[in-house]
Amino acid sequence: MSKIELPENIASLSAYSSAKSEKLTGTTWLNANESPYSRRVNLNFDALNRYPDPQPDAVISAYANYSGLNPEQVLMTRGADEGIELLVRTFCEPGKDSIALFLPTYGMYKVTADTHNVGITALEQNLLQQGSATDILKAVGKAKLVFICNPNNPTGATVSTDKIASIAAALKDKALVVVDEAYIEFCEQLSAASLLSDFDNLVVLRTLSKAFALAGLRTGFTLAAPDVLAPVRKVIAPYPVSAVVAQIAQEALTPDAITQMRRQVSILNKAKEKLIEVLGSSDKITKVMTGQGNFVTVQVRQVNDIKQAMQSGLIMRPFTLFNEDNWLRISIGSEQELEQVRLWLTQPQAEK
């Protein structure tokens, strides 16, 4: 074993446990908020011996057009996760600065801050939902970045664009407000992208992993004012986007492909409504969070019922929320996959 001493923040780091990091076996996978729609792509390359364009113009222009922005407001990244990491690395000084987040929320904000020895101001979702912009301004203190996952993973809670605007206004010249819109296609009317022209301290994170059904591509976008992106462009790796990824992403952002994506989103949203009805009438479920996104988070009466589902090959995502370990996030899959959830719900409750 190497005798090289680790920095204290890395030695004590609790790594993010992704759905795919757990080596599970199953037949129905509803644990990672993936789309059930697989995409077929046609690839054609004759210059893989050359380095790719660091920021492929065709993809940047296509995503700018899709999001209603200018190309200079768009940075392509390796998933939205790289966007999180770049913002922390660019704007926060290790051992000095901090970020603010509203718990429970996506775990990578904390892991990224811990990795870079950046402090965390841990606030509650209730403050974000119920508090005023002035309340939030006081609570975030001197945090450099304020992360708002909208819709929030894993609760599905949302924040209106008016509320985002008021928070950005309150934090002007004090902090960057980072709105993570990984699931925004499932409720497009709530996007904060339209606010970017009004607030130069606002950043929006996007991904092709969810509604665009390209989780395996690891493609995201950081949207912000050019002055905000300028220092980030200095920090990002020299060739973050492979030629293969760029070609597939460009194809996914054509008008026909976007129309298809929205059609699929509509189908998934309707399937979610039906699933919520079934969950609400089940004796196995004590609470259903009916927020936005391609998932439903529920509280299960008995933890053993979750184990029963896993043993049958139905893989969903267990969570500990509000200091209780009987929470479960269910991704919205195909009709056949969701039928397995319904079958599980009709099985006799597992013994304690």
Would you list the domain boundaries of the chain?
Answer: 8-37+257-343, 57-254
pTM over 0.75: yes
Is there a contact between 228 and 176 (Cβ–Cβ < 8 Å)? yes
Q: What is the dihedral of CA 258, 263, 266, 271, to 10 degrees?
A: -120
- DSSP letter string, 245-271: HHHHHHHHTSHHHHHHHHHHHHHHHHH
User: What's the topology of domain 57-254?
Assistant: Aspartate Aminotransferase; domain 2 (3.40.640)
Q: How confident is the model at residue 297 (pLDDT cuts 50, 70, 90)?
A: very high
Cα gap 316→297, rounded to integer Å: 10
Type of residue numbered 349: Q
Type of residue numbered 326: N
pLDDT digits (tens, 9 = 90+) for 52-77: 999 999 999 999 999 999 999 999 99
Judged against a pLDDT cut of 70, whether residue 350 lies above it is answered with: no
The residues facing 55 across adjacent strands are none
Query: How would CATH label the architecture of 8-37+257-343?
Result: Alpha-Beta Complex (3.90)
Averaged pLDDT of the chain: 94
Chain mean position to CA 327? 19
Cα gap 118→112, rounded to integer Å: 8
Cα gap 36→340, rounded to integer Å: 14
Rg from Cα positions in the chain: 21
Would you state the pLDDT for residue 2? 60
